[in-house]
Structure 1
Amino acid sequence: MKTPISLMLIFLSVPTLWSCQRTEEKQTEKPNIVVFFVDDMGWQDTSVPFWTEITEWNKRYHTPNMEKLASQGMKFTQAYAHSVCSPSRTSLLTGMNPARHGVTNWTLRKDISTDHEDEVLEFPAWNLNGLQPVDTINNSIFATTLPSILRAHGYHTIHVGKAHWGAMDTPGANPLNLGFDINIAGHAAGGLGSYLGENNFGNATPGAHTLPWGVPGMEKYHGHSIHLTEALTLEAIAALNEAKKKDQPFFLYFSHYTVHIPLEADERFYDKYQNLEEPEAKYASMVEGMDKSLGDIMNYLQQNNLDENTIIIFISDNGGLSATARGGIPHQHSSPLNSGKGSAYEGGIRIPMLIKWPNVTVPGSSFEDYLIIEDLFPSLLHMANVTTPTIVQTVDGENLTPHLQGKAQGKFREKPLIWHYPNNWGPTGPGIGATSTIREGDWKLVYWYKYEKRELFNIREDIGELIDRSTENPEKVMELAKKLADYLKEVNAFRPKDKRSGEFIAWPDEGLL
């Protein structure tokens, strides 16, 4: 076995006089942007409390660099994504809600759905080939992507880690086709065979790429005792070193594979969690490894005089995994939220989110309004001073920047939040199934296609969604069901059919009018 190579970080992050002078010359109206994207990280998988109370989960995990970022920027207590990965990732890159872009489930193989069979529902022919740079791929969405817009406006665009936009054997599988100048380790798959360099990151043989679960492009680490999280961090810093040489701002989309399964310990941190059962000890070490990566990026920016002109956005792509593969009680890993990844309930869609915008966001502040991941598309463009981009799609996201700048009054979002998942993820549990959901104010309505059933929750009073208030509030059910149905019809959203009758399942408001 070869020796660890983490010491490379020391040499990669040492600033030079030339780089410092170069950086000072590049302080322009266009800031650098880092999107630090974590996979399957739940709302409670951090020592940063995103609730009104510090929970036992917050005490379990050690994320000092998230704490540092929160102290330097703004914490978002009601940030949302979608319940599984590809829908969220497509929404971030396009500004579209999944009901509009149609990538409603996770993608992998061309023309093959990832839906599990159901005895009642026939699932729609959703856009299973994912996000594409062309309009000639069937069952896909063609859109103008965030990195392509930034590149057209002078940015050097870097992708590191998990991509998971286009299906295998389609152009969208390669981030280079979606607007990135550099792609490190990104391809069609959203999972991986192994995090361990000793296992060649899931590739069958050293120096090769094994589809679908082998991580590509990391061959120089094959056979080394290194965790993928650290290897990707080394590569990200090397890419930033190259970006420094260019007379242009950079956009780094650093999308970790962690903390997605398989749960494989990051040995740098594993010993400190031996009081936990093995799956949870591995998980906690992976969380801390992710946090170390965040700290390495933040330290690099500071050491190279880039931190005062670099926006950092920290997010997850969905709620934390809780239905399978974890220790402890299933569906409880984001408590007080109900359920986890794949669920329409809060545990499946509420995510940790932090933004540091130097000299704009108030250090140590909190943002209490709700927002959703597609809001980052127009927000990032405005942060980059791209105000009139040429795009082909209709954008659902709303611009957050006036609120970050303290220039806006009142609540952030006038339109309700919408989630649309007319699919079958596979695992079962609370809130997991074919659903469409709307939240407006404190009220949230979940519509179940299989049962044509509506649940109503008051999130402010019942964050765990334990009390269905639909019976006692029929007017609110009707109001939200109509708004949800009107939007789904407007965007021609996919919906399942009933196998028994061959007819489409009713819209959320049908039978109430």
Structure 2
Amino acid sequence: MCFFVAAHYLCSQENRLNVVFIMADDLGLNDTGYTGSDFYETPNIDKLSKDGMVFTTAYSSAANSAPSRACFMSGLYTPRHGIFTVSPPDRGDRTKRKLISVPNTEDLRRDIPTMGELFQRNGYRCGHVGKWHLGDDADGTGPLSRGFDVNIAGGRAGTPYSYYYPYCNSKNQCHIGLENGTPGEYLTDRLTDEAVRFIRESANGEKPFFLYMAHHAVHTPITAPQNIVDKYKNKPVGKYHNDPVYAAMVETLDNSVGKICDIIDSLGISDNTIIIFNSDNGGSEPITDNFMVRGGKGMPYEGGNRVPLIIKWPKVTEAGSVSDCPVNNIDFFPTFQTYLEGEAAKELDGVDIYPLLSRQKASMDRDLFWHFPAYLESYTDNGKGFRAKPYTSVRSGKWKLIYYYEDKNVELFNLEEDMKEVHDISTANPEVVSDLKTKIFDWIDKTQAPFPTKPNPYYESSL
């Protein structure tokens, strides 16, 4: 039976809800119809937004893939697991890097519990389909060693080996579990078929199920089925979006969401299945345009980690509801841990957002932090510039402060008045800057976050 206790909707194991978490890769804040795209078509994602709760201020915990997924899977900020970037941490022109980057961890350590283990230990059948990017089954850091009963295509790779069957690259590296297929078959479609298969197999079982549907779309390389590309070539371009190939990739992702929702409906399990749609980080500029915010993937600005988020939780979220409370992908682990009454294996950095979902609260009093002690080259000027240099940032209420380690400079923005982060108002607000810098360094002490201090001997000043 199910019952309310301490403002939560808890269930005995036989009545626990299934959970389907759909993670897009590099999907920008404005890459869907419901978030404002004037060219990409996402009717299925848009429908889900009307069926569930939309979060207008949802963040990833990092501005690129591996650290964001590690935070999502563990409920921990980056300093707790040491995955700060997609290796190597010292990318870009070495003569332009003032400091030596902090070493980066590539795989999620075995001593850190995962969300898969949380669900599995609480009686769920767990399936992973798609991009893992946190290790490999061969050395005990892949999905099958981290709580998942089924793993299709999940390994260390952050970029798809190929978007077309046989899903192998020139080095003959191939996605596992996709050995059989049809020439010309498209990866997003095939992963969706595998997800549908897992749902069918699990729906009639004795256990509830957790599916982590982790797409590679819309990550590079930018390629899509030609018939869908042709559709967008014949469509008038929008003010902000106009790339027909990227638009076709977005449509295949949207089709996947539709097929997954349809199979859940057709099996009669909609009323006991939670569906979540999210992206691992912001959209990759200049491939797309995150026109409502500044910057894109890899950057310290809102475009790097502001993402779409929809949660449909039967009997909890109200259809068509909206929350503007800032949330972070580290919040999913504690939310489900509370729901499952699971044992707290560690101190989690995220918070339980159930009170937001159930409308018992409209806001949560906490600060959010991002930590990037590395360098990331730009997409333009042949990589001579940088998308990001070492920084730590904090969002506290309406304020956002970015602290840069190279020169100890800061940028301060009032996100309520300046979501595009056009106006640095740090000089005019010294007390706010002082307060937020204190919060950053208190957090660094709390999490034992390493930051770069050693000069780079290869640095060449332009002065």
TM-score computed with the length of structure 2 as normaliser: 0.89
Identify if the C-alpha distance between structure 1 residues 130 and 279 changes in structure 2 by more than 3 Å, giving closer, same or farther.
Answer: farther
* Partner Cα separation in structure 1 for residue 136 and residue 199 of structure 2: 28
Q: Tell me what 1:42 maps to.
A: 28
Q: Tell me what 1:121 maps to.
A: 99
Q: Tell me what 2:324 maps to.
A: 368
* Partner Cα separation in structure 1 for residue 245 and residue 175 of structure 2: 20
- Equivalenced residue count is 435
SS in 1 for 2:246: helix
SS in 2 for 1:389: coil
* Partner Cα separation in structure 1 for residue 407 and residue 107 of structure 2: 28
Q: 1:341 aligns with which of 297, 303, 323?
A: 297
1:132 to partner: Cα distance:
2.4
Identify if the C-alpha distance between structure 1 residues 352 and 406 changes in structure 2 by more than 3 Å, giving closer, same or farther.
Answer: same
Q: Tell me what 1:181 maps to.
A: 149
* Partner Cα separation in structure 2 for residue 255 and residue 388 of structure 1: 24
Q: 1:215 aligns with which of 147, 153, 175?
A: 175
Conservation of the 8 A alpha-carbon contact between 1:131 and 1:165: yes
1:431 to partner: Cα distance:
5.9
Matched, 1:425 2:403: no
Q: Tell me what 2:46 maps to.
A: 67
Q: Deviations over 1:201-224 (max 9, x none)?
A: 2334xxxx833xx42321112x52
Matched, 1:88 2:68: yes
Q: 1:33 aligns with which of 19, 22, 47?
A: 19
1:114 to partner: Cα distance:
6.6
Q: Tell me what 2:196 maps to.
A: 237
Conservation of the 8 A alpha-carbon contact between 1:78 and 1:350: yes
Conservation of the 8 A alpha-carbon contact between 2:76 and 2:349: yes
1:273 to partner: Cα distance:
0.9
Conservation of the 8 A alpha-carbon contact between 1:27 and 1:309: no
Q: Tell me what 2:461 maps to.
A: none
RMSD over aligned Cα atoms:
2.3
SS in 2 for 1:486: helix
Q: Deviations over 1:169-216 (max 9, x none)?
A: 6421x210111000000000110232122xx22334xxxx833xx423
Unpaired runs of 5+ in structure 2?
1-11, 380-384, 459-463
Q: Tell me what 1:247 maps to.
A: 206
1:241 to partner: Cα distance:
1.8
* Partner Cα separation in structure 1 for residue 17 and residue 303 of structure 2: 33
* Partner Cα separation in structure 1 for residue 192 and residue 198 of structure 2: 10
Q: 1:401 corresponds to which letter in structure 2?
A: Y
Unpaired runs of 5+ in structure 1?
1-25, 134-141, 327-331, 503-513
1:41 to partner: Cα distance:
0.4
SS in 2 for 1:129: coil
Conservation of the 8 A alpha-carbon contact between 1:148 and 1:179: yes
Q: Tell me what 1:227 maps to.
A: 186
Matched, 1:287 2:266: no
Conservation of the 8 A alpha-carbon contact between 2:26 and 2:280: yes
Q: 2:360 aligns with which of 404, 407, 415?
A: 407
Q: 1:148 aligns with which of 103, 106, 117?
A: 117
1:266 to partner: Cα distance:
2.8
Q: Greater relative contact order: 1 or 2 (C-alpha under 8 angstroms, separation 6 or more)? A: 2
* Partner Cα separation in structure 1 for residue 457 and residue 132 of structure 2: 39
TM-score computed with the length of structure 1 as normaliser: 0.81
* Partner Cα separation in structure 1 for residue 349 and residue 198 of structure 2: 32
SS in 1 for 2:210: strand
SS in 2 for 1:220: coil
Q: Tell me what 2:6 maps to.
A: none
Q: 1:219 corresponds to which letter in structure 2?
A: E
Matched, 1:203 2:169: yes
Conservation of the 8 A alpha-carbon contact between 1:132 and 1:171: no
Q: Deviations over 1:245-292 (max 9, x none)?
A: 420000000000010000012335222210559992111000010000
* Partner Cα separation in structure 1 for residue 15 and residue 456 of structure 2: 60
SS in 1 for 2:167: helix
* Partner Cα separation in structure 1 for residue 353 and residue 83 of structure 2: 24
Identify if the C-alpha distance between structure 1 residues 431 and 188 changes in structure 2 by more than 3 Å, giving closer, same or farther.
Answer: closer
* Partner Cα separation in structure 2 for residue 184 and residue 491 of structure 1: 34
Identity %: 34
Q: Deviations over 1:327-381 (max 9, x none)?
A: xxxxx71012111000110000100000001121010010111011101111123
* Partner Cα separation in structure 1 for residue 211 and residue 190 of structure 2: 16
Q: Tell me what 2:454 maps to.
A: 498
Q: 1:352 aligns with which of 308, 313, 337?
A: 308
1:452 to partner: Cα distance:
1.5
* Partner Cα separation in structure 2 for residue 423 and residue 402 of structure 1: 36
* Partner Cα separation in structure 2 for residue 123 and residue 169 of structure 1: 29
Q: Tell me what 2:336 maps to.
A: 380
* Partner Cα separation in structure 1 for residue 97 and residue 336 of structure 2: 43
* Partner Cα separation in structure 2 for residue 499 and residue 169 of structure 1: 38
Q: 1:98 aligns with which of 78, 87, 105?
A: 78
SS in 1 for 2:323: strand
TM alignment of 1:479-498, pairs within 5 A:
479-498=435-454
* Partner Cα separation in structure 1 for residue 434 and residue 302 of structure 2: 22
SS in 1 for 2:413: strand
* Partner Cα separation in structure 2 for residue 183 and residue 169 of structure 1: 12
* Partner Cα separation in structure 1 for residue 387 and residue 433 of structure 2: 18
Conservation of the 8 A alpha-carbon contact between 2:89 and 2:101: no
Conservation of the 8 A alpha-carbon contact between 2:52 and 2:311: yes
Conservation of the 8 A alpha-carbon contact between 1:339 and 1:430: no
Q: 2:109 corresponds to which letter in structure 1?
A: Q
Conservation of the 8 A alpha-carbon contact between 2:394 and 2:440: yes
1:43 to partner: Cα distance:
0.1
Conservation of the 8 A alpha-carbon contact between 1:345 and 1:431: no
